[in-house]
Amino acid sequence: MTSDSTAFLRTAGREFVDQSGTPVRLRGVAVGGWLNMENFITGYSGNESLMRGTVREVLGEEKYELFFERLLTAFFDEDDAKLLAGMGMNCVRLPVNYRHFEDDARPFVFKEEGFRHLDRVIEACARHGIYSVIDLHALPGSQNHHWHSDNPTHRPAFFDHPHFQDRVVAIWERIAEHYKDNPWVAGYNPINEPADESRKVVGPFYTRLVEAIRAIDDRHILFLDGNTYSTEFDVFDAEWDNTVYVCHDYAAPGMGNGGDYPGVTDGKYYDTAALEAKYLQRTEYSRRTGTPIWVGEFAPIYTGDERRDAMRRQVLADQLDIYRGDGASWSSWMYKDLGRQGVAMVRPDSPYMKRFGDFVAKKNRLGADNWGSDGNGIIEVTKPFQEMIAREFPDFDPYPWGRFDWVRTLILNLTVAQPLAYEYAELFRGLDDDELIALADSFALRNCDIRTTLVEQLRAG
SS (H, E, C) the chain: CCCCCCCCCEEECCEEECCCCCEECCEEEECCCCCCCCHHHHCCCCCHHHHHHHHHHHHCHHHHHHHHHHHHHHHCCHHHHHHHHHCCCCEEEEEEEHHHCCECCECCCCCHHHHHHHHHHHHHHHHCCCEEEEEEEECCCCCCCCHHHCCCCCCCHHHHCHHHHHHHHHHHHHHHHHHCCCCCEEEEECCCCCCCCCCCCHHHHHHHHHHHHHCCCCCCEEEEECHHHHCECCCCCCCCCCEEEEEECCCHHHCCCCCCCCEEECCEEECHHHHHHHHHHHCHHHHHHCCCCEEEECCCCCCCCHHHHHHHHHHHHHHHHHHHHHCCEEEECCCEECCCCCCEEECCCCHHHHHHHHHHHHHHHHCCCCCCCCCCCCHHHHHHHHHHHHHHCCCCCCCCCHHHHHHHHHHHHHHHHHHHHHHHHHCCCCCCHHHHHHHHHCCCHHHEEECHHHHHHHHHC
| Cα–Cα dist 429/427, whole Å | 6
pLDDT band at 237 (very low <50, low <70, confident <90, very high): confident
Q: Which of 112, 193, 306, 387 is catalytic?
A: 193
145: left (phi over 0), alpha (psi -120 to 50) or beta: alpha
pLDDT for residue 190 is more than 70: yes
Predicted confidence (pLDDT) per residue in 152-180, tens digit: 999 999 999 999 999 999 999 999 999 99
pLDDT band at 247 (very low <50, low <70, confident <90, very high): very high
Contact 22, 30 (CB under 8 A): no
Q: Is 297 a catalytic residue?
A: yes
pTM above 0.85, yes or no: yes
Question: Exposed/middle/buried for 4, CB within 10 Å: 0-12, 13-18, 19+?
Answer: exposed
Question: Mean of the pLDDT values across residues 114-123?
Answer: 98
pLDDT at 6: 64
Q: Is 193 a catalytic residue?
A: yes
In the chain, pLDDT over 90 holds for what percent of residues?
A: 97
**Average model confidence (pLDDT) across the chain:** 97
pLDDT for residue 390 is more than 80: yes
Q: Which of 3-12, 107-116, 430-439 is the least confident region?
A: 3-12
How far lies 278's CA from each of 225, 233, 250, 275, 321, in Å?
A: 17, 15, 9, 5, 14
In the chain, pLDDT over 70 holds for what percent of residues?
A: 99
Cβ atoms within 10 Å, residue 427: 16
| Cα–Cα dist 455/438, whole Å | 27
- Provide φ and ψ at 398, rounded to 5°: -70, 150
pLDDT for residue 301 is more than 80: yes
Q: Which of 297, 306, 380, 387 is catalytic?
A: 297
Contact 375, 256 (CB under 8 A): yes
pLDDT at 1: 40
- Provide φ and ψ at 243, rounded to 5°: -130, 145
Question: Mean of the pLDDT values across residues 228-235?
Answer: 95
